[in-house]
Chains A and B, each alone.
Chain A
Amino acid sequence: MTNVSGPETPAIVAEDVRKAERTDRVVGTIQRQGALAVLVVVVLIALATFPNFRSFDNAATILVAAAPPMLIALGMTFVIITGGIDLSVGSLYVLGGVLAAWASQYGILAAFLLPLAVCGAIGLVNGLLIAYTRMAPFIVTLAALLGARGLMRAISAEGSNTYLVQDDTFRKLGNGSFLNIGYQVWLVAGLVVIGMVVLARTRFGASVYSVGGSEDAASLMGVPVRRTKVWVYVLSGLLAGLAGAINAAKLGSGVTVLGTGMELDAIAAVVIGGTLLTGGAGTIAGTIAGVLLLGVIQNLINQVGNLNSNWQQVISGAFLALVVVAQTYLVRLRRVT
């Protein structure tokens, strides 16, 4: 809100407002498209320096590897825009994978439906607790992290029993490709487009933004604050479970050890993509750029043969710090003008 009061003459004020608006627009664009710009730069440098990066196969590999994180980050974007956070997605991802592998003995439909049902239900519990008891999302989803991991271990005989995928169609879905691009990538791309439309064009999307902007204002305007909150956690749970299922299809088994720290990778990708952790602002396009950026960095580190793969974590961490610091200054710049 620009406060137009004071001794200045209207003409000067109007000029100031115009100038402020221009700065605002420029800064806003940098903030929203920053990750995309960095991604383009990194990819261009990589194309110039790494011959192996240039192949179509490599690009397809990056996309396939990025598919599960992309789904998780997609749900996380909705959650974070409402001003919340979901720490349970890493556990739900592993749980979803184990459930899908187990259920695949009853056919492909079961392999999808069981993880979606269970992970969606845990998301629902998260959402109900957060929306109706006003407990902090951080703690509720932390408890869900533990609970979901416990459940996963319980059904996999304390993590010692790895279920192999029994259904051939399901396994083919994880490894097959259309136009040389994995089925998973197509599926994820479809869901991302749907997510974009929902967030940008529907009443629910508008509610998500307004809950994150100001809960009080949103409820005064008649936005169903609680219902919106419940749904974003359900969505996040569903997508994490689905990500686990397609990963199980790819690996041919439900692996019990992956997924720790996955929630924080997703948060990092969302934040790098320009979504503010304070809620109220953010885009899915940014999240795509964030996920791909982390994926490309990982891919490049693999390309440099003698580089320890642990450097990936170091570089991701440094990158994250850099981006959030830059973002904070950009936001401040906007507020000042």
Chain B
Amino acid sequence: MSTETVAARPVVDAARLKAWLPKYGVYAAIVLLVVYNIFFTPYFATWSNLRIQLIQVAPIVIVALGMALVIGTEGIDLSVGSVMALAAAFIPLYLGYGVVAAILVALLAGVAVGLINGVLVAKVGLQPIVATLALFVGGRGLAVVISEGKLVDIRNPDFLYLGSGDLLGIPVLVWIAALMVLIVGFVMRRTVFGRRLLAVGGNRPAAELAGLPVKRVLITVYVVCAVLASIAGLLSVARIQSSDASSVGLLIELSAITAVVVGGTPLTGGKVRVLGTVAGALLMQLVIATMIKHNLQPSTTEMVQAVIILIAVYVARERKTR
């Protein structure tokens, strides 16, 4: 009897669309935009255009991955842009000791910031937005102080290879971003840590009662997020071939949060959509690229971005209330 009622339903009924949209809407939007561009945008379907788009989106993807993990714990990290600036400030100072040393110092800066954020959230019990706000304000200032406000040109060819080199015909930046996606995806799907993260984000009191190391999980998440941000920071320096602490990563926290949200990760925690986050970043990049190619001004692009964010969150909200 129940099979009959199912068969009697129309193919596209509202309820099913509501369940489908938040999950696959972002992919559908990407496909639609790509198809539109292939037909109507000159020089869109070229290898060089694809390269440029991917290189531009790679740092955002890396930062957004960390942001997705933090949001999965019902947190938020406003300090990612400042971490990028810190990493950028340290690179020219330590490149004299070798590429590895410079990268290590930049990553250590990320670890330090992540630890501060994590401890403030997990042990002190601050709201994530406040805890990370302090470093958002102070971190970039510190980065500018460290670099004495100077824009430093980077000439080390080994380091620049990270930002402008190719490996098997694909930019190194894109390989690194893809590797990060794979690692984060693996961690979320296959490891105990991933499951614990979701448990902490889904219901923290329950996770505590179940004896999960809630505080350790939270601290680790903020450290991972900051380290990913410092990777994005050093890659940005390698791409731009200069380090400017006052501009690297400016407002990237907004782009990252947008990518995560558009990708279908709810701000209420307990769920992380890794591929969705990548798709969210790609969609926003694609929107911007499409509008620029059609000679629309950046101002219009920003307003369109605003509308996309609202639609994405509104759609996701429908699913949550059901």
Known interface pairs A139-B267, A311-B145. Does A147 touch B306 (Cβ–Cβ under 8 Å)? yes
Partner pick for A133 among B127, B257, B314, CB 8 A cutoff: B314
B301 at the A/B interface (Cβ < 8 Å)?
yes
- Greatest chain A CB density within 10 A among B126, B138, B317 is at B138
Cα distance A265–B134 in the bound complex, in angstroms:
10
Contact with B along A231-261 (1 / 0, CB 8 A): 0000000000000000000000000000011
The stretch of B18-26, B53-61, B292-300 that contacts the partner chain: B292-300
Known interface pairs A314-B141, A325-B124, A328-B125. Does A153 touch B298 (Cβ–Cβ under 8 Å)? yes
Cα distance A332–B139 in the bound complex, in angstroms:
28
Contact B310 A143 (CB under 8 A): yes
Contact with B along A307-335 (1 / 0, CB 8 A): 01011111111101100110011001000
Contact A139 B309 (CB under 8 A): yes
Contact A321 B298 (CB under 8 A): no
A142 at the A/B interface (Cβ < 8 Å)?
yes
A-B pairs under 8 A by CB, number: 144
Q: Hey, which chain B residues are within 8 Å of A135, CB to CB? A: 310, 313-314, 317
Residue of B nearest to A153 (CB): B299
Cα distance A24–B133 in the bound complex, in angstroms:
28
Q: How large is the interface on A (under 10, 10 to 19, 20 to 34, 35 or more residues)?
A: 35 or more
Minimum CB–CB distance for B46 against chain A, Å: 27
Contact B129 A85 (CB under 8 A): yes
Partner pick for B309 among A146, A278, A315, CB 8 A cutoff: A146
Cα distance A124–B163 in the bound complex, in angstroms:
44
Residue of A nearest to B246 (CB): A310
Cα distance A313–B257 in the bound complex, in angstroms:
23
A 75-101 contacts with B by CB, 8 A: 85
Contact A317 B137 (CB under 8 A): yes
Minimum CB–CB distance for A213 against chain B, Å: 16
Q: Hey, which chain A residues are within 8 Å of B309, CB to CB? A: 139, 142-143, 146
Contact B302 A150 (CB under 8 A): yes
Cα distance A329–B125 in the bound complex, in angstroms:
9
B168 at the A/B interface (Cβ < 8 Å)?
no
Known interface pairs A85-B129, A313-B140. Does A328 touch B303 (Cβ–Cβ under 8 Å)? no
Contact A332 B130 (CB under 8 A): no
Q: Hey, which chain A residues are within 8 Å of B142, CB to CB? A: 313-314, 317
20 A-B interface contacts by CB (under 8 A): A134-B321, A135-B317, A136-B313, A138-B76, A138-B267, A139-B261, A142-B257, A144-B306, A145-B254, A150-B302, A154-B299, A260-B250, A264-B133, A316-B141, A320-B133, A321-B134, A321-B135, A321-B138, A324-B134, A328-B126
Chain A residues proximal to chain B, CB less than 8 Å: 85, 129, 133-136, 138-140, 142-147, 149-154, 158, 260-261, 264-265, 267-268, 271, 277-278, 308, 310-318, 320-321, 324-325, 328-329, 332
Chain B residues proximal to chain A, CB less than 8 Å: 76, 78, 120, 124-127, 129-131, 133-142, 144-145, 148-149, 250-251, 254, 257-258, 261, 267, 297-307, 309-310, 313-314, 317, 321
